[in-house]
A and B are shown apart, each in its own frame.
Chain A
């Protein structure tokens, strides 16, 4: 089968939106005052992912994450791992849906039952995945334009309503550099950067190891830049002290827009950003999940999409009871029990096994 390569720009857009979508809203958790610095610091260790994943892809020719797992761990354990990864992707998708629902429920629609919103949303996600990764990627450039335009709009409008007060980012490093670095290692490198592991599934479209390295480096750089700018906008408008208490800091910042009492409260923009972003991110995860299931159970293309989407939707409601539980789970438990093992340890072990079992040059 000839690899159907996608336009480089589309693929880059997909990765970038994937990295931005939910983190632009929930972004860097405000556990330290200088949260904008966290994103910048997290970029450097995050490049480790590129090295590890790139090495994985280059160790074998033309093999994605699922094939590599099976090749490294053998048929049975490998398949078990494939199943674990598929479930992991579905779980993250459902968490992202929940993120979106939380924002929509607390800002736009308050009475509408959550299942209605979720169901309608996951149906669109499932529909988006039916066209395969090519369709998602083509859709991504559009979303990227929307996201960046909206963010710029917010920045410019805030500037014109003289809400950007640069002084508010001071005092700089009031708690020292320690907590900032710690926060980078505890949160930011696993989410959003580590989630790039899902793109290993699409090795063909991404253009093998070489393409992956190049693409992801660019995407990481851009994401780091945009997230830091977004963080800075939040700090400049809300101030270091107040940002800490905000559930959706960017939304709170957008609420301060007021140009001559005509253009006021652009918080709908934020809802648009997160809706489009989540749509794309969930589509990527869902598609990766269906690929995994097809790898194990075989079956016709498009057979799993709708059931899995509904499952993700249902799971997004069932996964946690309230938003505090959702956040705690996301920021502590998921990182230690899922992100670190599945984003770092298993790939590292796989890489090691591949190197030991199949030396260079004697690839089968």
Chain B
């Protein structure tokens, strides 16, 4: 190999080093900080106040442990747009912020009442904000307070809230699926209004900010799931309780796993939760048709489950016992669903179930002329619920343990 050739190859390697490393877009880890939560509120001086929860990476190290500092720090900035406030966050923070690991976006109630459409674009447009980030409404407290609650596990508030919401939705279904793309999808389609998850705080936030507050066994403040925030268009109009939310989600086929406590009688007296049944695979289908000016809706709910608790004496060795509990479940779910539907019809008058969306997708030509007045039609809709639950097994006991008694 000649010297010239050798030198040429070396030179080429250096050229590649310089050209292929992408030096312009580098971000040093020790010059940037991850953001895990974001809270949006109306500002005092400007239009918005944006609060970021920035991770203090040293304190969250699980192996070495921290030096006793807080795992996160909260920074707020006011600005006339969310983008401006975000870009100007460095007026108080020294590191560059990386927003791609953001977990929750909490919208203040006051802002939600004015309409969320005015600021959603920045979140949807940004390539770094994940599409499955949770968008929640903070009920009762300023949005930034939710990020100021410290938890005993040494984790940041944003992560805790996200996990809590997802787990709660998975095991009980009392909160709507409110990912960022769900917002866009609902706002763009017809015949369904937006529902976002709502969270509230119980306890003292002022105390909860300090790291000392987690050294007690009972946390000073806890973020709680508070059902759903119902929107008309893009404006918040009210809240649904966790129970109602679960029924709405069940009707629109978003609940797969839940538990019903069925009323029955224990020892002759009435008991609200005499039998508990757990369902693992729930599905619902809807059929919508118009009868003149009233929508006729048929809702089919199906479920597959087991009996979790039984305070009433029903023999589960007999087919009759199963039939009885299934019948009780059917009655209970039908009643609760009917209650939720008429509650929504009377109090909100907007279609949170997506009946209209179903009609829009499957009967587009019939839906087209009534698209504008759908919500008012919905509040007069007649819903017929037809549920079909199958209980498969009794877990480990065939009936409630009870002394049989001997002799007469």
Contact surface of A with B, Cβ cutoff 8 Å? 106-113, 116, 120, 167, 170-172, 174, 239, 241-242, 245, 252, 255-256, 258, 264-265
Which B residues are CB-close (under 8 A) to A170? 361-362, 364
Q: How far is the CA of A258 from the CA of B181 in the complex (A)?
A: 13
Q: Are B132 and A111 in contact (CB under 8 A)?
A: no
Of all chain A residues, which has the CB nearest B23?
A112
Q: Does B5 contact A (CB under 8 A)?
A: no
Q: Does B380 contact A (CB under 8 A)?
A: no
Of all chain B residues, which has the CB nearest A123?
B19
Q: Are B25 and A111 in contact (CB under 8 A)?
A: yes
Which A residues are CB-close (under 8 A) to B259? none
Q: Does B22 contact A (CB under 8 A)?
A: yes
Q: Are A111 and B189 in contact (CB under 8 A)?
A: no
Q: Are A242 and B131 in contact (CB under 8 A)?
A: no
Q: How far is the CA of A255 from the CA of B189 in the complex (A)?
A: 21
CB distance from B295 to the nearest CB of A (A): 17
Q: Are B361 and A120 in contact (CB under 8 A)?
A: no
Of all chain B residues, which has the CB nearest A109?
B25
A-B contact count (CB 8 A): 48
Chain B facing A: main interface SS: helix
Which B residues are CB-close (under 8 A) to A112? 22, 24-25
CB distance from B227 to the nearest CB of A (A): 24
Among B19, B132, B188, the residue within 8 A (CB) of A256 is B132
Known contacts A171-B362, A239-B188; 20 further A-B pairs (Cβ under 8 A): A106-B127, A109-B25, A111-B25, A112-B25, A113-B24, A116-B19, A120-B19, A170-B361, A171-B364, A172-B364, A239-B189, A241-B185, A242-B184, A242-B185, A245-B188, A252-B131, A255-B131, A256-B132, A258-B132, A265-B130
Q: How far is the CA of A112 from the CA of B361 in the complex (A)?
A: 44
Could you show 13 A-B contacts with beta carbons less than 8 Å apart? A107-B127, A111-B24, A112-B24, A112-B25, A120-B19, A167-B361, A170-B364, A171-B361, A171-B362, A242-B184, A252-B131, A255-B130, A264-B132
Of all chain B residues, which has the CB nearest A173?
B364
Q: Are B364 and A174 in contact (CB under 8 A)?
A: yes
Q: Mark B178-216, 1 if CB is under 8 A from A, else 0.
A: 000100110011000000000000000000000000000
Q: Does B239 contact A (CB under 8 A)?
A: no
CB distance from B19 to the nearest CB of A (A): 6
Of all chain B residues, which has the CB nearest A251?
B127
Q: How far is the CA of A104 from the CA of B149 in the complex (A)?
A: 39
Q: How far is the CA of A149 from the CA of B189 in the complex (A)?
A: 33
Q: Does B360 contact A (CB under 8 A)?
A: yes
Q: How far is the CA of A245 from the CA of B181 in the complex (A)?
A: 13
Q: Are B130 and A109 in contact (CB under 8 A)?
A: no
